[in-house]
Structure 1
Amino acid sequence: MADLTLAPPRPRSARRPLVLGTLGHVVNDAYTAFLPALLPMFHLQLGLEETTLAGLVAIFALSTSLPGPFLGKLSDRFGEAHITAAGVLFSAVLLSLLAVVPSVPLLFALVAVAGLGSAAIHPAGSMLVRQGTSRPELAVALFAAGGMLGYAAGPTLLAAARDHAGRALPLVLALPGIVAAATIMALVPLESTSLPASTKAARFEWRLVFGPVGLVTLAAALAFLPATAVLNGLPLFLMERHGLPDTHPAIAGTLTTFSLAAAVGGIGVGLLAARLSRTWLLAAVLTGSVPAFLALLWLAPDATGYVIVLGAAGALSYAATPILVVAAQDRAPRSGATASGMVFGLGSALAGLMYFGIGALQAEVGVSLALSLAFVAPVLSAAISFAVLRRIPSFAAASVTETLCICAAASGAGIVTCAPSCTLSGNGVFRNA
């Protein structure tokens, strides 16, 4: 048996992956916001009609989501820091070229490939940020909130660069991503704090799809559906029910308020997850979101309580994400990033597919009733989540004993603890037993 090694605690090392992983997500999602911001230019300069533009958006959505589980496997094998940095660099270079793409075929090819950077960073980054922390839900919540903030800032950065960069536009746009990728690689230690290579799965574990991780992914898709419906269907509902023009400030304000509230809500749940039972917290978040979403169908945009209800719905919309992602990671000891990719990628893709059915129903039963069906989906998500999470043991917050205890891998013999009070979670996170 190999000798056990003891080392002094390094509190900064736990914060560094969190900061750099979140930074990568902020920068990456700022680039993903370039596509919707450039759609008017594609319409005017390349002559693309609405149907073609919708197809372009659909292709990008698929490329940023469906490959997630398989790209997560790359992270499991080669390290979260490497794949996070590569994903940011990939998105920065290719999505910056959208601003100068000369032809329609090249545009579609570029969009189909450029989404892979985003598909890679979600599973890798969500594993990177939880390294060395005893509060993984909070770490993943901060990671997710960073992406929302980056997405909100992307169009503004693009507009400023188009006004001032001139012929150097692609280089100017790509530069922040290049710097962010280099920073991640320079400052994150090369030694991964995840499981040793000998304990990782050599191939994609299909049992994840049909086991508890698959159920968590389905629960995530149902949890994501109301937010997908709000962002895509609520503007149409406001126009149909309240007679608002598509340029009315209430429509843009609704989407902005909802997105900002979603970032705050995820962080709040991440904080509570360390103090409350995550099973009951998740059930409360999911079921509590239903009345808030349904109230949006009854209140006019100029009503006093509209902004309050909208903020509550936004705060609860993606609040389940950190708990679901961490639950999937904990149920896949050898493939944490793959499990993350399933929740982020496959879950989002399934939510989009479900919304496609909701959109088809709108023509038959009306926008209001169709959206109502989407807004009650979290109830089913709560039922599935409760059945899965109650079988996952919960852990107490970090203690002094945990901080002082260091675990070492014994050659050929898996994980060995150096003290009875120290244990290693399935994804390499030290926690108090």
Structure 2
Amino acid sequence: MVNRLLTPHTRPVVLLALGHACVDVYQGAVAALVPFLVSERAYTYAAASGIVLAATLLSSVVQPLFGALTDRWAMPWLLPVSTLAGGAGVALAGVTGSYGLTLAVVALSGVGVAAYHPEAARAARTASRGSHVAMGWFSLGGNLGFAAAPLLVAAVVATGGLGASPLLVVPAIAGAALCAAALRAIAPPSGAARAARARGPAGRDDWRSFALLSGAIAYRSVVFVGLSAFIALYARERTGGGDAAGAAALFVLYLGGAVGTAAGGRLATRFGRLPVVRWSYALSVLAVAGVVLVPGPVLYLFVALASAGLYVPFSLHVTLGQDYLPRRVGTAGGVTLGLAVSVGGIASPAVGALADAASLQTALAPLIALPALGWVLLRPLEEPARLEQGAG
């Protein structure tokens, strides 16, 4: 069965998707560690959100830099190296002796994740031949990694405490091996690779459309990171459950994202990318309002709807961005695939500080409006010309 799935055409995409899952475990793991840091180290909400910020701030700053570098030079070695760096930082987070050291190691993890995404997006574009459906499967791997993170962290840390966190390095080791295998599967002959880079891509970069798309992604990112950082604590508060209730809410948030991403490419094939992206942002407004305002177990339904609304456009952001910047696909991938997740962490300390001053519900309420602002930015966008034949 596995051999039939891993044909020469599909093998690179499958390997990249699995590697992506191993990397994005570490984006989800930082938020999943927050309840344990609060309970074992007595961190305030603001201090805990600072951990999320440390994992995302450097990532937000350096991700476009890595994208620009990969546009200029091929750096496939970044994939396994950055995967190991992302895993090492999270693995050390539970055994550091001070708040400052914890910030430092999760920042290392954030830089590793930042270095991974631009080159991974380029490799996935090559392996998928520009298909947004295939890119959806690659993105799905990352979402599954997010979904697995709270379960993995709960299994390790709830059992052995924060001191067991070094066990969390295991996915990084597996991911580095998968990345190396994927690169071997898609690597063209060196002469052909040099010739392709010398010719350069066709098309003209549309920076205005890319800027509008990026602005919408930033709004979406603040919503998702705000929910992922605090939904576990909020679910415990709103449902009256314990740690298991919080872990379940985070799992639903991430798993709904995986389902949404898988559906996004198929929906775009039928209805078009931009209509699907706009509908998703509109759905997110209503779903996030339900998360914030509706009490009790039905909260989980709204978490699932919010997750789907936020993630249906995830892989479509990537292909739209790459088509708006056909000459800078590394930069486009770094912003749409990586920065889309990390930039929201910049706002998380403000959410945490407001929660400390008032309540978690008050702090999460402003998130309702942000998908609507993203929808406004998406309104003037037009479908870019597809560069690959047979994409879709």
TM-score normalised by L of structure 2: 0.78
> SS state of the match for residue 313, structure 1?
helix
Letter in 2 for 1:392: P
Within 5 Å, which residues of 2 pair with 1:397-408?
A: none
Q: Deviations over 1:292-314 (max 9, x none)?
A: 222334433235xx544432222
Counterpart-to-counterpart distance in 1, 2:350 and 2:116: 28
User: Which residue pairs with 1:421 in the alignment?
Assistant: none
- What is the rounded CA distance, in whole Å, between the counterparts of 2:107 and 2:348 in structure 1? 21
Q: How many corresponding residue pairs?
A: 376
Tell me the residue number matched to 1:197: 197
Q: In 2, are the aligned partners of 1:26 and 1:147 still within 8 Å (CA)?
A: yes
Distance 1:307 1:176, change over 3 A: closer
Determine whether 1:319 maps to 2:316: no
**Which of 275, 300, 303 is 1:310 aligned to?**
303
| Secondary structure of 2:270 counterpart | coil
- Is 1:64 paired with 2:49? no
Aligned to 2:384: 392
Check the 8 A contact 1:135/1:274 in 2, yes or no.
no
Q: Do the aligned residues in 1 keep the contact of 2:236 with 2:245 (CA within 8 Å)?
A: no
- CA–CA separation in structure 2 for the residues paired with 1:105 and 1:233: 21
Judge conservation of contact 1:258–1:310 (CA < 8 Å) in 2.
yes
1:220-369 aligned within 5 A: 220-234=217-231, 242=238, 244-245=239-240, 247=242, 249-303=244-298, 306-354=299-347
Q: Which runs of 5+ in 2 are unaligned?
A: 1-5
* Cα separation, partners in 2 of 1:181 and 1:79, compared to 1, 3 Å: farther
Cα distance change of structure 1 residues 265 and 108 upon mapping to structure 2, 3 Å threshold: closer
Other-structure match for 1:138: 133
The amino acid across from 2:313 in the alignment is A
The worse-fitting range, judged by mean Cα deviation, of 215-224 and 50-59 is: 50-59
Equivalences for 1:79-94 in 2 at 5 Å?
A: 79=74, 81-94=76-89
- Answer 1 or 2: which has greater helix percent: 2
CA-CA distance at 1:100 after TM superposition: 4.5
CA deviation digits over 1:186-208, x for unaligned, max 9?
A: 4333228989323559xxxxx98
Residue 53 of structure 1 and its aligned partner are, at CA, apart by 4.4
| SS of alignment partner, residue 390 of structure 2 | strand
TM-score by length of 1: 0.71
Q: Distance in 1 between matches of 2:227 and 2:198?
A: 45
Compared CA separation, residues 218 and 94, structure 1 to 2 (3 A): same
Query: What is the rounded CA distance, in whole Å, between the counterparts of 2:75 and 2:270 in structure 1?
Result: 28
C-alpha distance in 1 between matches for 2:313 and 2:149: 25
Between 1:75-84 and 1:257-266, the stretch displaced more is 75-84
Larger Rg computed on CA atoms: 1
Q: Distance in 2 between matches of 1:149 and 1:360?
A: 30
The yes-or-no answer on 1:431 pairing with 2:390 is yes
**More displaced 10-residue stretch of structure 1: 132-141 or 321-330:** 132-141
Query: Pairwise CA RMSD of aligned residues?
Result: 4.0
Contact 1:72 1:341 in 2 (8 A): yes
**Any idea what the Cα deviations from partners look like across 1:68-114, whole Å, max 9, x if unmatched?**
11112233344474332222132234443445545655444333223
Judged with a 3 Å threshold, the aligned counterparts in structure 2 of structure 1 residues 35 and 349 are, in CA distance, closer, same or farther, namely: closer
Cα offset for 1:62?
A: 1.3
Indicate the residue corresponding to 1:418 in structure 2: none
* CA–CA distance in structure 2, aligned partners of residues 299 and 159 of structure 1: 26
Give deviations 1:4-26, integer Å, cap 9, x for gaps.
xxxxxxx9444223112211211
Question: C-alpha separation between the residues in 1 aligned to 2:234 and 2:101?
Answer: 35
Q: Which of residues 62, 83, 107 is equivalent to 1:112?
A: 107
What CA distance in whole angstroms lies between the structure 2 residues aligned with 1:185 and 1:99? 28
**Using the alignment, how far apart are the partners of 2:33 and 2:362 within structure 1?**
32
Counterpart of 2:180 in 1: which secondary structure? helix
User: Whole-Å Cα distance in 2 between the matches of residues 301 and 136 of structure 1?
Assistant: 41
Q: Percent identity?
A: 26
Q: Output the CA distance in 2 between the equivalents of 1:262 and 1:101.
A: 31
Letter in 2 for 1:288: L
Aligned partner of 1:382 in structure 2 is 375
Whether the aligned pair in 2 keeps the contact of 1:296 and 1:310 (CA below 8 Å) is yes
- What corresponds to 2:180 in structure 1? 185
Question: Secondary structure of 2:77's partner?
Answer: helix
Asked if the contact 1:292–1:309 (Cα under 8 Å) also holds between the matched residues in 2, the reply is yes
